[in-house]
Amino acid sequence: MTLFTPEFIAGQNLTHAAALASDYAALGEQLARSGLDIEAITARAAAFAVAVPSWGVGTGGTRFARFPGPAEPRNVFEKLEDCAVIQRLVRCTPRVSPHFPWDCVSDHAALREHAAALGLGFDAVNSNTFQDQPGQPLSYRFGSLTHTSAAVREQAIAHNLDCIRYGQALGSRALTVWIGDGGNFPGQQHLVRALERYLDSARTIYAALPADWQMFIEHKCYEPAFYSTVIQDWGTSVLCAMQLGEKARSLVDLGHHAPNVNIEMIVARLVQFGKLAGFHFNDSKYGDDDLDSGSINPYQLFLVFNELVDAQQRQVPGFDPAYLLDQSHNVTDPIESLMNSAATVQRCYVQALLVDRPALGACQDANDALMAGNTLKRAFHCDVSPILAEARRRAGGAIDPITCYRAARYRERLAPARPAVAGSGSGIV
């Protein structure tokens, strides 16, 4: 059901076109006064891309409950349809990150074609050894790649090798490995032996990576383990990536840090040592809340992109981070939240492009802390909405994606074809 035809989108854009043209011209003048060419920045905005999580288009939940909305996607094909709507309207989410076995099908090459027909490709694949699947011989209750039983570790390793195979059929070139392994009580795990088992398992997975693939190690400070998590922070992650080799890097999920951790500094460190894999963008107030990116602390997201643009402009060798959203949408329409979040991440990237880096460097050298902060804030306070909207418009997308999406009444029209699946259950997906 293609509701979002070029004609429909163009029709919706008509109401915004004149205002956009005048706002764009005004911003162009403003930026020109600082020696910035709005056309060059708009081209960079148009080239920006962030992948959407296949598991993010269904309504998310918590351990308490999940309240599915109308026309929920019931399988990976319907998830891709919803991802295609996002890409049609915001034009900066051309790839989907799949999660196995949630997205397993009998023919992954056919899935690749299905996605291509929808204008989508695949980004990093995600393995899952944090849940037991029906009929799974051995349980991950006490861990997976670090389990004390070699048989359980073997099972977890085999699953990761399967994910690489599925990913190759989909055209992916990276495997993200997040494990919830850890302990709930002091003494439950031997902290060193658990990590030795992790490295042993990870080496087997690493050895199976195709030449042009990478392995993204995702750290998380807690949950589901509540006392010790084996890959608990960027330090352990980067040490493991260094142990494993060139193709292993550390992925930063913004929600996986204790409150007030300086995440942009972790990014700077990983860039400096050539070990930044990329990101799972989201936001949080307390724990791993998986809220919409930039919805709680947009300045932090800007500061992360400030480090990334700085690295880009310093032409750091091998700098090629993967950008992905990893969110759970409990009280909003997932399509709307993902469109909003993709645009917010793109916004922070564009604002970081506006930072006057020679001026900032001079303030830093002169220890002029106040002016250094103001130099960053000047870019952060610049409303780059006309640049984002113009980049979308030129690419055939919606000037105002949310209004355009709502005008199509997508969920209402799709609901008859997607009857609700019984039992909403709980949990993030």
**What residue type is 346 in one-letter code?**
Q
- Residue whose CB is less far from Mn ion, 96 or 414: 96
Q: How many CB atoms lie within 10 A of CB 207?
A: 10
- Map residue 263 onto helix, strand or coil: helix
State the minimum distance, in angstroms, from the CB of residue 4 to ligand LRH.
27
CB of 217 within 8 A of CB of 249?
yes
Rounded to whole angstroms, the Cα distance separating 58 from 54 reads 8
Residues 39-58 that bind ligand LRH (CB under 6 A): 55
- Residue whose CB is less far from ligand LRH, 253 or 264: 253
Q: Is the dihedral of CA 77, 162, 223, 246 positive or negative?
A: negative
Residue 218 lies near ligand LRH (rule: CB under 6 A): yes
β-partners of residue 228 are: 183
Q: Which does 55 bind (CB under 5 to 8 A by kind): ligand LRH, Mn ion, none?
A: ligand LRH
Residue 103 lies near ligand LRH (rule: CB under 6 A): no
Residue 126 lies near ligand LRH (rule: CB under 6 A): yes
Rounded to whole angstroms, the Cα distance separating 392 from 402 reads 13
Task: Give the chain's length.
Answer: 429
Q: How many CB atoms lie within 10 A of CB 395?
A: 13
Closest to 52 in 3D by CA, of 18, 8, 29, 85: 85
Residue 280 lies near ligand LRH (rule: CB under 6 A): yes
State the minimum distance, in angstroms, from the CB of residue 235 to ligand LRH.
18
- Residue whose CB is less far from ligand LRH, 253 or 336: 253
List of residues 6+ apart from 156 with CB closer than 8 A: 129, 140, 144, 145, 147, 179, 201
CB of 283 within 8 A of CB of 296?
yes
Site for ligand LRH (CB under 6 A): which residue of 123, 288, 336, 390? Answer: 288
- Residue whose CB is less far from Mn ion, 294 or 386: 294
Run of H or E residues at 252: strand 248-253
- Residue whose CB is less far from ligand LRH, 283 or 326: 326
Binding mask 264-283 for Mn ion (x = CB under 5 A): ----------------x---
Q: Which does 126 bind (CB under 5 to 8 A by kind): ligand LRH, Mn ion, none?
A: ligand LRH
Binding mask 287-326 for Mn ion (x = CB under 5 A): ---------------------------------------x
The residues of the shown chain that bind ligand LRH, judged by CB under 6 A, are: 55, 126, 178, 218, 220, 253, 280, 288, 326
Binding site for Mn ion (CB under 5 A): 253, 280, 326
